[in-house]
Each structure stands twice: as structure tokens, then as C-alpha cells.
Chain A
Amino acid sequence: MTLKRTPFYDFHVAAGGKIVPFAGYEMPVQYPTGITKEHEAVRTGVGVFDVSHMGEFEVTGRERNDFVNRMTSNDVSTLDIGQAQYSAILNDQGTVVDDCIVYQFGDKLMMVVNASNIEKDWAHISSRRSGDVRLRNISDEVSLLAVQGPKAETLLRSLTQVPLHDIGYYHFKVGDIAGVQCFVSRTGYTGEDGFELYFRNRDAGVMWKALVEAGGATPIGLGARDSLRLEMGYALYGNDIDDTINPYEAGLGWIVKLNKAEPFVGQEALRAIKEKGVTRKLVGFRMIDRGAIPRHGYDVYLRDTKIDVVRSGGFSPSLKEGIGTTFLPTHSVEPGTRFQVDSRGKRIEAEVVRMPFYRQGSARKAKASKA
């Protein structure tokens, strides 16, 4: 398979980015200063992430709202124009095809999906299309930069007339940033305040130069993207959620609206699952023994029985310890519960902790003041 490149590829290489294959793209995993420094830049300043590999589907037509409401578990009818919502695409068994963000423009909707799932999601959605609904996969036409960190708003304010302060958490506006027409969305995957900017590929160079070269934002690779989102306990598709896991197990019951007006794919299955109760839940944990980092795929033991694997895991640059997620039986999910992670032959002690792992993020403040 030929790997794709985003419009920012040459900028990544010029900045010294270490390029790795990811979700069918050649993407930077880190730049020369390293993951820890990038992580800190986002927690204390402002970083820029190329997430152009993400997928975008545009939905138009008279019956677009009902259609997207049928395709996703959250309730599209509650969205105001200019509002976005975290949601999930489910299959008939109620397990997760993908997680996504739904944007309500008034005259259209946009679904933003994971890069690795674009084809699967497109097949899932387009095969269920009915009525007056038009679907367009605009993934290859759209560039997406996430500008994240406590200083994100200050940086963007110097590049735009858009009243950024009026954009609440999970809201967006259409406007120019650095002279480039964008969807400016106050969303992100880091726990910090910040924005995600959607714009045309042809404007990629102008935008990168304005944010990074003139604006001084730190380019952030996939490595720090993962450590930042893990500290927040945000689910990663393929690790924490997949098509063998339902939203209740993953702690995503809050994006399942069983009683919304439109029936949705997976609803009946989820109703039954909710009635019965789940047998396992995704938990966050920290390593008690210093010296080992839980990695994705390591075996997890509860009272000497192999119970699961580490779903997401890594070193937390903010907390300076190994943290991760795994599924434990519902009776053993209380914070403080001890279990073991097998780190290459050695059983290392771990304990359940509440997520998010990191609680000082500026997104909480943005959410509280502007939601």
C-alpha cells in the first residue's frame, strides 16, 4: 500500500520530524526536541498538530439531520447551529464502529472520523443512506490543524477578526484565520483549551507559516498527541474502543441517547445491554512500582487470572509515572483496586485510579466559562 501524505508533509520534514507510517499516512511521531518537550509545550504554551489524516464526511439534503441521528448514538436534534458533539457510530450489536464529532452548520452537517476508519465508516454510512440525503467524503480535500494549549486563543487572536472568545467549548464559527477561510472549532484531544481549524488543502502552507513560523507555536507529533490524550483518559479507537466493545463498557454511556426521537443503529442492542448491565468496564490505572511503563498489549492479571491486556498505556510526562487503561470485571473497578501488569515476564503492581489522570488542563476552565 502506498502511504499518503498530508499537505504539511514537507513542513514536517523541514522541522526535523521523525516520519512513521500511521493510519495509511506518513506522519511525524516527534520532532527533534522530543515528546516530553512537545507535551510540556501544549500543557504550558501552544502546540500545533497536523491531524489532516482525519476523515470528514459532509451530509446535506432535506433529511440530513434525521439521517445523522440514525447513524450516531448521541442526539443530533439537541445541536444548535454552530455547535459540535462527540458521538459514536455503532453497529447493530451496539459495539463501536468509530467515535466521531458531529458539526451542525444549519444547512449541512459534518462528521469527523478517525483516519484508520474512513473507508469502513463510509461503507457503513453510505450503505444505510435513504431519503433526501447526500453524502460527500471530503477527507482528501480538507486540511486540519489542532492548535492546543493555554496560549492557543492568544495566538489565534493575533491572526483573526473572528470573536474567538464567543466560541464556547464544542462550538465553532466560520471565519478567516491568517486570511484563510476556516471552520474554527473549540475542540481538541489534549485537555487544554484550544481550537481545531478545518480549511482547504491549498491554504496549508499559509496556515502553517502563520501558526508555526510567525506564530511561534510548537509542532507536535503523534507521540505527544498520544501522551496528552492518555493523561485525559480520552478513548483512542483501536485501543480503548473497537467493534468488540460497547459504549457502556468504555465509559461512554453519556454519548448514548436511548430515548432520542430517532431510532439509531445499535439502539436495540444497547437497550438490552443497559438492562442487563455490563460485566466489564474500562478503567484507568497507574503503576505502583516505579520502573516499568505499561504498553499497549501487555497482559493484565487480576488475582492471578489473565483478565485483559493494557489497552492504552505509556509514561505520563505530567505525572511522571506509568499510566494506562484496561478492562476489569465490574466488581473490581473501584479506585484503589490492585492488579498486575505483565511487563515482559515480570508482574508489576498497578492500581485503579479515576480518570482523567491529569486534572489541571485549561480545557476545564474554558468549558466552565464558555459552555
Chain B
Amino acid sequence: MSKIPPALQYTEEHEYVALDEADIVQIGITDYAQGELGDVVFVELPTIGDKFDRMHVFGTIEAVKAVSELFCPVAGEVVDINGALDKDPSLVNRDPYGNGWMIKLRVKRVDDLKELLSASDYAAHIGE
């Protein structure tokens, strides 16, 4: 069983969204996703100021065995990236919801957050 913190929201593409402030969210990939990907060796992140629409690709994640794109769960502007992943991409495996986060995003429409999956929806989606 993978960890699915109840307070977070999720996408079917295995990103999670954690509300930081009123309109700022932290985004990363779920524990289930890191387990499926295996050992992460590079994470390619956007630049601060980049804007993405909902479900547009904001980066890529290279694991030993597979490469996967990262999809932006909601439209918004990147206000911070996790520079620590450049030195130690395995943080994504060890602590996906904590030190393995990827970007912080200023959400364009806060209402969009309602479209995301709840923890129980996501658990059902991955069959747990």
C-alpha cells in the first residue's frame, strides 16, 4: 500500500497538490507514482515565472527504467522550484510529499482545485 495523505488532492496522472497558501499550491508526484517509476535519476523542472495550462507538461522525470512527463494539475504560474532535486533526485523516492516536492504554483482560478481527485478517489483510481 502506498501513502495517500488525506489532506491532499490528486490527478489521475499521479501528481498531488498541497495547498500552501490561499492561491499557492505545492506539486509533486505521489508515493504510488514514485514506486511505479523506480529510482529517479533526473527531474527536469520549469523556470520560475513559466505559466502552464491545466494538464500541460511542466517537466519530465527520468527514472532508471522509465521516463515520465509531469502534468500541471491546475493552470497557474510557477513561483518556486525545488532546486534540491538537481543534486539529489532520489528525494522524490524517499520523501515524495515532503522534500521531494517539485514546484510551487500560483493558481490562476482557485475554483479549478475542486476538479481534482480526493484522496479516496485517488486510492480507488490506483486500485488501493
Q: Does A317 contact B (CB under 8 A)?
A: yes
CB proximity of A143 to chain B, nearest CB, Å: 26
Which chain A residues lie closer than 8 Å to B93 at the CB level? Answer: 34
Contact of A295 among B38, B42, B67 (CB under 8 A): B67
Q: Does B62 contact A (CB under 8 A)?
A: yes
Whether the pair A293, B38 counts as a contact (CB closer than 8 A) is no
Are A317 and B64 also in contact (CB < 8 A) when A35-B39, A223-B38, A292-B42 are? yes
Which chain B residues lie closer than 8 Å to A36 at the CB level? Answer: 39, 64
Expressed in whole angstroms, the Cα–Cα distance for A35 and B65 within the complex equals 8
Q: Does A30 contact B (CB under 8 A)?
A: yes
Which chain A residue lies CB-closest to B37? A34
Which chain A residues lie closer than 8 Å to B60 at the CB level? Answer: 344
Whether the pair B38, A315 counts as a contact (CB closer than 8 A) is no
Number of interface residues of B (CB under 8 A): 11
Whether the pair A315, B67 counts as a contact (CB closer than 8 A) is no
CB proximity of A182 to chain B, nearest CB, Å: 31
Whether the pair B39, A293 counts as a contact (CB closer than 8 A) is no
Q: Does A291 contact B (CB under 8 A)?
A: yes
Q: Does A314 contact B (CB under 8 A)?
A: yes
CB proximity of B61 to chain A, nearest CB, Å: 11
Q: Does A227 contact B (CB under 8 A)?
A: yes
Whether the pair B64, A292 counts as a contact (CB closer than 8 A) is no
Q: Does A29 contact B (CB under 8 A)?
A: yes
Whether the pair B42, A290 counts as a contact (CB closer than 8 A) is yes
Whether the pair A223, B65 counts as a contact (CB closer than 8 A) is yes
Expressed in whole angstroms, the Cα–Cα distance for A339 and B65 within the complex equals 23
Are A314 and B44 also in contact (CB < 8 A) when A34-B39, A36-B39, A223-B38 are? no
Within 6-65 of B, Cβ neighbours of A (below 8 Å) are at 38-39, 41-42, 44, 60, 62, 64-65
Q: Digit string of B113-125 for contact with A (CB within 8 Å is 1, else 0)?
A: 0000000000000
CB proximity of A321 to chain B, nearest CB, Å: 9
Contact of B62 among A35, A227, A315, A320 (CB under 8 A): A315
Which chain A residues lie closer than 8 Å to B65 at the CB level? Answer: 29-30, 35, 223, 314
Which chain B residues lie closer than 8 Å to A34 at the CB level? Answer: 38-39, 64, 93
Expressed in whole angstroms, the Cα–Cα distance for A30 and B44 within the complex equals 24
Q: Digit string of B58-83 for contact with A (CB within 8 Å is 1, else 0)?
A: 00101011010000000000000000
Q: Digit string of A307-319 for contact with B (CB within 8 Å is 1, else 0)?
A: 0000000110100
Which chain A residues lie closer than 8 Å to B41 at the CB level? Answer: 293, 315, 320
Within 21-66 of A, Cβ neighbours of B (below 8 Å) are at 29-30, 34-36
Which chain A residue lies CB-closest to B66? A295
CB proximity of A322 to chain B, nearest CB, Å: 8
Are A35 and B67 also in contact (CB < 8 A) when A30-B38, A291-B42 are? no
Which chain A residues lie closer than 8 Å to B44 at the CB level? Answer: 291-292
Which chain B residues lie closer than 8 Å to A292 at the CB level? Answer: 42, 44, 62
CB proximity of B58 to chain A, nearest CB, Å: 14
Whether the pair B67, A344 counts as a contact (CB closer than 8 A) is yes
CB proximity of B95 to chain A, nearest CB, Å: 15
CB proximity of A291 to chain B, nearest CB, Å: 5
Expressed in whole angstroms, the Cα–Cα distance for A29 and B38 within the complex equals 10
CB proximity of A277 to chain B, nearest CB, Å: 37
CB proximity of B45 to chain A, nearest CB, Å: 10
Which chain A residue lies CB-closest to B89? A291
Contact of A223 among B42, B62, B64 (CB under 8 A): B64
Whether the pair A314, B42 counts as a contact (CB closer than 8 A) is no
Expressed in whole angstroms, the Cα–Cα distance for A290 and B41 within the complex equals 10
Which chain A residues lie closer than 8 Å to B62 at the CB level? Answer: 291-293, 315
Which chain A residues lie closer than 8 Å to B38 at the CB level? Answer: 30, 34-35, 223
Which chain B residue lies CB-closest to A36? B39
Subset of 29 A-B contacts with CB under 8 Å = A29-B65, A30-B38, A34-B39, A34-B64, A35-B38, A35-B64, A35-B65, A36-B64, A223-B38, A223-B64, A223-B65, A227-B64, A290-B42, A291-B42, A291-B44, A291-B62, A292-B42, A292-B44, A292-B62, A293-B41, A293-B67, A314-B64, A314-B65, A315-B41, A315-B62, A315-B64, A317-B64, A320-B41, A344-B67
Given A35-B65, A292-B62, A293-B42, 5 other A-B residues pairs in contact with their CB atoms under 8 A: A34-B64, A35-B38, A35-B64, A223-B64, A317-B64
